[in-house]
């Protein structure tokens, strides 16, 4: 309904006839006004009415109905207040066993305990996370489809390839789930113990290669940045499905290097199947205290870190976003999750939806500049 309607009309001093007409017209939009009283002599006032939480239609109503209407408009839909009433899918775009998968499953179990409904991890690997990102962006904004994503799939991949979603407009950020530095690992046969050794080796050889979880991933950019700063060629070999294939080929010696999260590669380092040669952050990882940062071991100024987070479709009601954020932070600060994250060399942050949204925006801008400086072109 557009424009304004006046409840009272000539020949209808109580306003009841006109009000019934309003009831009928608003019912078409899913908005049901309360029954008209027998006496409608209150002073008319302007209120906003809508069948949506954000009210847009302007209607002239008596004071009694205005109070009721404002109460309706100020509240979220009843179903949002009752969320979750059924199982919730946590979708991600990488393979089972990838970093985002490894981190999502314990959180899903914890959220199930806290919120009383099953949270199920749904892996939809492919296109460096683009497939899952699109599915969630276009999902019903009812809180039952959640995106678990590494930062790069939202902030760097869109600068390199065309994606069917807007990372800054199509989601309601919920909160961070972890932050971490990457680990640069090599096949044991590569004759380098540190990043400095690798730089020296790379200036003599032109056949070194590195695998990644896909074009535009943070691990891809970590390798490209290393190659540029070291002045050495590195052949990029992207793997479909989120990196488990890259790990397999690295262990087999089919690629020489890889950048990954400590949660994924530390077990292989401990077993001697891979060799850690550097950490991408500005400080050493407590999980690998003897492994120097790339910056301190030969490539001054090199630094790159990653994060994971949870997001909902953009139009999800605010109460759902806030409830999931609260439950997520509670899960992350629980002793068992903190202990598990520490064993994987990961941090357990606690953020508001606004803080996380600001991080997504700033990282999107930062990675845009990095992609441009590396000369990587969008396709």
Which of these ranges, 84-88, 131-135, 221-225, 296-300, has the smallest mean pLDDT?
Answer: 296-300
Average pLDDT for residues 215-226, to the nearest whole number?
92
Measured from the Cβ of residue 274, the count of other Cβ atoms closer than 10 Å reads 23
Nearest to 223 by CA among 259, 180, 181, 182: 259
The confidence score (pLDDT) of residue 302 equals 94
Long-range contacts of 14-23 (CB under 8 A, 24+ apart): 14/38, 14/39, 14/40, 14/41, 15/40, 15/62, 16/40, 19/65, 22/59
Q: Do the domains 183-303 and 85-176+310-374 match in fold?
A: yes
Q: Report helix, strand or coil for 306.
A: strand
Average pLDDT for residues 280-306, to the nearest whole number?
92
pLDDT(4) > 70: no
Nearest to 117 by CA among 148, 80, 144, 147: 144
Rounded to 5°, angle at Cα 30 from 25 and 32: 70
pLDDT(64) > 70: no
Cα(183)–Cα(119) distance, integer angstroms: 30
Cα(231)–Cα(254) distance, integer angstroms: 23
Give percent above pLDDT 70 in the chain: 78
Cα(371)–Cα(156) distance, integer angstroms: 7
Cα(160)–Cα(163) distance, integer angstroms: 9
pLDDT(69) > 60: no
The confidence score (pLDDT) of residue 21 equals 53
Asked if residue 151 lies in contact with residue 145, where contact means CB atoms within 8 angstroms, the answer is: no
What size, in residues, is the chain?
Answer: 379
Asked if residue 82 lies in contact with residue 75, where contact means CB atoms within 8 angstroms, the answer is: no
Query: Positive or negative, the Cα torsion across 296, 299, 302, 308?
Result: negative
Per the prediction, the chain carries an average pLDDT of 83
Give percent above pLDDT 90 in the chain: 66
Maximum C-alpha span of the chain? 97
Asked if residue 270 lies in contact with residue 263, where contact means CB atoms within 8 angstroms, the answer is: no
pLDDT higher at 3 or 24: 24
Domain residue spans of the chain:
16-75, 85-176+310-374, 183-303
Asked if residue 275 lies in contact with residue 186, where contact means CB atoms within 8 angstroms, the answer is: yes
Interstrand relation of 145-150 and 305-313 (parallel, antiparallel or unpaired): antiparallel
> pLDDT (tens digit, 9 = 90+) per residue, 302-341?
999 999 999 999 999 999 999 999 999 999 999 999 999 9
* Rg of the chain (C-alpha set): 27
> pLDDT (tens digit, 9 = 90+) per residue, 118-128?
999 999 998 88
pLDDT band at residue 236 using 50, 70 and 90 as cut-offs: very high
Superfamily of domain 85-176+310-374: Bordetella uptake gene, domain 1 (3.40.190.150)
pLDDT(116) > 60: yes
The confidence score (pLDDT) of residue 176 equals 98
The confidence score (pLDDT) of residue 269 equals 96
Cα(11)–Cα(7) distance, integer angstroms: 12
The confidence score (pLDDT) of residue 75 equals 54
Average pLDDT for residues 110-134, to the nearest whole number?
95
Half-sphere exposure (Cβ direction) of 287: Cα atoms closer than 13 Å: 25
pLDDT band at residue 143 using 50, 70 and 90 as cut-offs: very high
Burial letters for 330-360: b for 16+ Cβ neighbours within 10 Å, e otherwise? Answer: ebbebeebeebbeebbbbbbebebeebbebb
Rounded to 5°, angle at Cα 303 from 329 and 151: 40
pLDDT(72) > 50: no
Q: What is the CATH number of domain 183-303?
A: 3.40.190.10
Runs of H (alpha helix) within 151-272 = 151-155, 157-160, 195-202, 218-230, 244-252, 262-270
Asked if residue 357 lies in contact with residue 311, where contact means CB atoms within 8 angstroms, the answer is: no
> pLDDT (tens digit, 9 = 90+) per residue, 11-48?
444 444 444 554 454 444 444 444 444 444 333 333 33
pLDDT(62) > 80: no
């Amino acid at each position: 309904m557009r424009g304004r309607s006046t409840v009272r009309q000539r020949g209808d001093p109580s306003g009841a006839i006109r009000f019934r007409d309003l009831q009928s017209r608003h019912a078409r939009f899913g908005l049901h006004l309360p029954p008209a009283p027998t006496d409608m002599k209150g002073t008319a006032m302007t209120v906003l009415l809508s069948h949506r939480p954000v009210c847009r239609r302007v209607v002239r109503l008596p004071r009694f109905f205005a109070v009721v209407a404002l109460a309706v408009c100020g509240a979220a839909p009843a179903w949002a207040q009752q969320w979750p009433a059924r199982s919730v899918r946590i979708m991600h775009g990488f393979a089972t066993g990838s970093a985002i998968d490894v981190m999502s499953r314990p959180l899903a179990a914890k959220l199930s305990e806290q919120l009383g409904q099953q949270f199920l991890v749904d892996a939809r690997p492919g296109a460096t996370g683009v497939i899952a990102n699109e599915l969630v962006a276009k999902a019903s904004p009812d809180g039952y489809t959640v995106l678990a994503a590494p930062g790069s799939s939202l902030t760097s991949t869109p600068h390199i390839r065309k994606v069917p979603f807007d990372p800054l407009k199509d989601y309601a950020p919920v909160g961070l789930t972890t932050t971490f530095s990457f680990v640069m690992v090599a096949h044991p046969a590569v004759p380098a113990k540190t990043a400095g050794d690798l730089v020296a080796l790379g200036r003599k050889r032109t056949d070194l290669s590195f695998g990644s979880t896909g074009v535009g991933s943070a691990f891809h950019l970590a390798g490209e940045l290393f190659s540029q700063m070291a002045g050495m060629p590195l052949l990029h070999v992207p793997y479909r499905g989120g990196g488990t294939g890259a790990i397999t080929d690295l262990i087999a010696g089919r690629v020489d290097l890889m950048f990954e999260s400590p949660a994924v590669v530390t077990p292989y380092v401990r077993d001697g199947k891979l060799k850690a040669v550097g950490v991408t952050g500005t400080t050493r990882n407590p999980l690998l205290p003897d492994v120097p940062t790339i910056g301190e071991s030969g490539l001054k100024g090199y630094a790159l870190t990653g994060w994971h987070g949870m997001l909902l479709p953009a139009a999800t009601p605010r109460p759902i976003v806030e409830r999931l954020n609260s439950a997520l932070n509670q899960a992350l600060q629980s002793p068992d999750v903190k202990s598990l994250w520490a064993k994987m060399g990961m941090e357990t942050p606690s953020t508001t939806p606004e803080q996380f949204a600001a991080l997504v925006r700033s990282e999107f801008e930062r990675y845009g500049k990095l992609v441009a400086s590396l000369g990587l072109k969008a396709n």
